[in-house]
Amino acid sequence: MSPINIEVTARGKVSRRVRAEARTKLDPLGGFSKGPVPGARVVLIQEPNPRISLLARAEAEVNRQVGSSAPARRAVDGGSGR
């Protein structure tokens, strides 16, 4: 398993320790994928939002690598295309 390029960004008052912990927790994701995972992105948000009851939240995105002609379903189901 090759290392995943993990981009961690923050909005609001998010400590460096919490950012590092997010990176550590995302790093093993490559081991759960049937195909290469070249990158992941997480945004840590700690700010009030009247539409969301939680003050702190995380939004994550994991990038999968599949062939350019592969159907979208292949990217979701782990590469089998079924």
pLDDT at residue number 44: 95
The answer to whether 2 touches 40, Cβ cutoff 8 Å, is: no
Residue-by-residue DSSP string for 5-17: EEEEEEEES--HH
Domains of the chain: which residue ranges? 5-66
Residue type, 38: P
Question: pLDDT for 20-62, tens place per residue?
Answer: 999 888 888 777 777 777 888 999 999 888 888 888 889 988 8
Q: Are 39 and 63 in contact (CB under 8 A)?
A: yes
Whether pLDDT at 82 is above 60 = no
* Range 14-19 average pLDDT: 93
